[in-house]
């Protein structure tokens, strides 16, 4: 079993075994899939990308022109669903009950977004927004669209038509999808059909058909509240949004620091020779930021030990880590916690909804109605038995 399916139509599946996270890159057949609507059938030869809005000349770019005319790049990045870890929320949050498998790393090949925007004479000001619009919504459903700040699109985003050296598979957004490194996967719009340059986010009656997935969903909203529509924000890293009191219902943009033990696996029995060590392996990631340290606990968070960061820091990719542990007989609870280069460390638990937290406080992540973005280490502990 390479993936665990949560639904087949639309296709939603998570990585079935944590050990898959040690593979580089994650194969397309194993990479998690998060789709809101059934996978559309799009003829690549008929497909075009429309570039509209605040541009000198509107354009419709065919796939062949995208591949031949513009500079090609390959970007390796970790993508995580905003709902990854939702099954750890108590009481249960709404939506698919993702475990920890809605997370993968792949190599994406395509054209830097800035190349196409520049060719259309788009307004490239830092305060501009670009609506990335997908082509998967059935008739009568809200169009899947996300508003992205121009500064991020010009920095490192990609119009991807290849995955791990092969053509992009249909379930992963073919013919072309957007890749937004370091940000939650909801921003990497699949089956991309249009880029619309504008002065604000998608908002207001004019864009009613397009605002659902931008203004209502993928917001961090506490119990008993409804998200308030906004035209713009200045902070995109989720930690920075937490720190901005004017953003009461943060948007799912830049990922929080997080980590996960991948080996030993959950409920695994260990039988090392007396005195021999066991290597605890894991991955840590921090969105647009770097991982500065990872600690490992073998007693559920009572005591902590420094892990060794492995490999190069290929931001914004996950970072492998390891810790040599000599276990004693008994049952042990293994957890990891990572710290990013801005000094932010994972909290221990998810709050109770009645606490109505709006930010990470008292070592707790704020419970929210859709179970988004938790980076608490407590709900994802690994229990092993050493004999």
- Note the pLDDT tens digit of each residue in 370-385: 999 999 999 999 999 9
Domain boundaries, the chain: 3-218, 258-386
User: Closest Cα to residue 231, out of 206, 255, 256, 254?
Assistant: 206
pLDDT at residue 1, as a whole number: 57
Tell me how far apart the alpha carbons of residues 130 and 372 are, in angstroms, rounded to a whole number.
23
Q: How confident is the model at residue 24 (pLDDT cuts 50, 70, 90)?
A: confident
Res. 304: pLDDT tops 60: yes
Contact 381, 264 (CB under 8 A): no
* Residue 118: its H or E element: helix 113-119
The answer for residues whose C-beta is within 8 angstroms of residue 110's C-beta and 6 or more apart is: 66, 72, 73, 158, 159, 160, 161, 162, 176, 179
Q: How confident is the model at residue 271 (pLDDT cuts 50, 70, 90)?
A: confident
Q: What is the mean pLDDT of the chain?
A: 96
Distances 210 to 147, 196, 229, 252, 253 between C-alpha atoms, Å: 10, 12, 13, 17, 18
- pLDDT, one tens digit per residue, over 227-269 is 999 999 999 999 999 999 999 999 999 999 999 999 999 888 9
Contact 254, 287 (CB under 8 A): yes
Thinking of the domain 3-218, which architecture would CATH place it in? Alpha-Beta Complex (3.90)
Tell me how far apart the alpha carbons of residues 325 and 328 are, in angstroms, rounded to a whole number.
10
Distances 320 to 206, 261, 307, 353, 387 between C-alpha atoms, Å: 46, 10, 10, 33, 27
- Stretch 194-215: mean pLDDT, rounded? 98
- The DSSP-derived string for 202-249 is S-SGGGGGG-IIIIISSB---TT--PPP-S--S--BHHHHHH-TT-SS
The CATH number of domain 258-386 is 2.60.40.650 = yes
Contact 98, 16 (CB under 8 A): no
Q: What percent of the chain has pLDDT over 90?
A: 92
- Stretch 116-142: mean pLDDT, rounded? 98
- pLDDT, one tens digit per residue, over 25-81 is 999 999 999 999 999 999 999 999 999 999 999 999 999 999 999 999 999 999 999
CA angle 252, 258, 264 (to 5 degrees): 135
Res. 219: pLDDT tops 90: yes
């Amino acid at each position: 079993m390479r993936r665990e399916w949560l639904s087949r139509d639309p296709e939603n599946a998570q990585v079935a075994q944590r050990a898959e996270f040690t593979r580089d890159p994650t194969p397309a057949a194993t990479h998690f899939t998060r789709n809101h609507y059934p996978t559309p059938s799009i003829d690549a030869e008929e497909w075009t990308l429309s570039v509209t809005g605040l541009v000198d000349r509107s354009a419709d770019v065919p796939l062949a022109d995208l591949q031949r005319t513009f500079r090609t790049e390959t970007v390796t990045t970790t993508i995580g669903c905003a709902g990854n870890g939702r099954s750890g929320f108590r009481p249960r949050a709404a939506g698919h009950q993702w475990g920890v498998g809605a997370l993968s790393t792949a190599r994406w090949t395509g054209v830097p977004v800035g190349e196409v925007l520049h060719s259309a004479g788009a307004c490239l000001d830092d305060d501009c927004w670009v609506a990335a619009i997908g082509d998967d919504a059935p008739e009568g459903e809200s169009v899947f669209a996300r508003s992205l700040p121009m500064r991020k699109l010009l920095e490192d985003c990609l119009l991807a038509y290849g995955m791990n050296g092969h053509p992009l598979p249909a379930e992963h957004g073919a013919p072309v999808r957007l890749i937004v490194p370091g940000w939650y996967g909801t921003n990497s719009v699949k089956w991309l059909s249009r880029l619309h340059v504008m002065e604000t986010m998608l908002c207001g009656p004019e864009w009613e058909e397009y605002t659902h997935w931008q203004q209502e969903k993928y917001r961090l909203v506490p119990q008993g509240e409804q998200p308030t529509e906004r035209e713009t924000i200045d902070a995109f890293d989720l930690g920075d949004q937490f720190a901005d009191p004017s953003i009461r219902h943060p948007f799912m943009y830049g990922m929080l620091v997080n980590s996960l033990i991948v080996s030993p696996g959950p409920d695994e029995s260990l039988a090392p020779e007396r005195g021999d060590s066991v290597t605890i392996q894991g991955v840590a990631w921090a969105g647009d930021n770097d991982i500065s340290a990872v600690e490992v606990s073998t007693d559920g968070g009572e005591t902590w030990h420094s892990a060794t960061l492995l490999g190069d820091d290929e931001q914004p990719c996950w970072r492998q880590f390891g810790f040599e542990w000599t276990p004693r007989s008994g049952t042990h609870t293994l957890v990891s916690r990572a710290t990013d280069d801005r000094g932010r460390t994972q909290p221990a638990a998810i709050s109770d909804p009645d606490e109505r937290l709006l930010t990470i406080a008292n070592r707790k992540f704020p419970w929210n109605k859709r179970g988004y973005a938790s980076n608490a280490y407590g709900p994802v502990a690994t229990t092993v038995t050493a004999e």
